[in-house]
Amino acid sequence: MKFSFKPADFLFLAISVVLIALSLIALSGNSSGPAVAVIKVKDAEYIYPLNQPRELEFEGVLDKAHLVIHDGCIEFVESPCRDKICIHMGQAHQDGDFLACLPNRIIVTIEGGESDTDN
């Protein structure tokens, strides 16, 4: 049995190699640089570096929530939600950490920096 490549086979192979290379570059570059907090509120997204202390206030669907960035961490300090689970979640500081005030629809994820799985 003779197998021959057609031009479309070479094109598919070339595209696959390029996509794999770009994926590896994107994944390896994701954890470099300072960690940032990505805050999603309603239909907006805000990004703040964790190495710059600041107080933040966001208007959620219930009312205003207060977050604080300090010592490379972010945390909810005040929220209008009933059970205050977001405040009890504590601080987020590593790649992949998240905080959420679901009743107020505010979600915080940490991107960049180092995670527990980095060696």
Q: What is the dihedral of CA 32, 44, 108, 115, to 10 degrees?
A: -10
Phi, psi for residue 76 in degrees, rounded to 5: -75, 135
pLDDT of residue 113: 74
Distance CA 102, CA 91 (A): 16
Domains and CATH numbers, the chain: 36-111 (2.60.320.10)
pLDDT of residue 75: 97
Q: Is 34 helix (H, G, I), strand (E, B) or coil?
A: coil
Say if pTM beats, i.e. exceeds, 0.75.
no
Write out the H or E segment, with its range, that includes residue 21.
Answer: helix 7-29
Phi, psi for residue 62 in degrees, rounded to 5: -90, -50
Mean per-residue pLDDT pooled into runs of 10, the chain (119 residues): 74 79 68 83 93 95 95 95 93 93 94 63
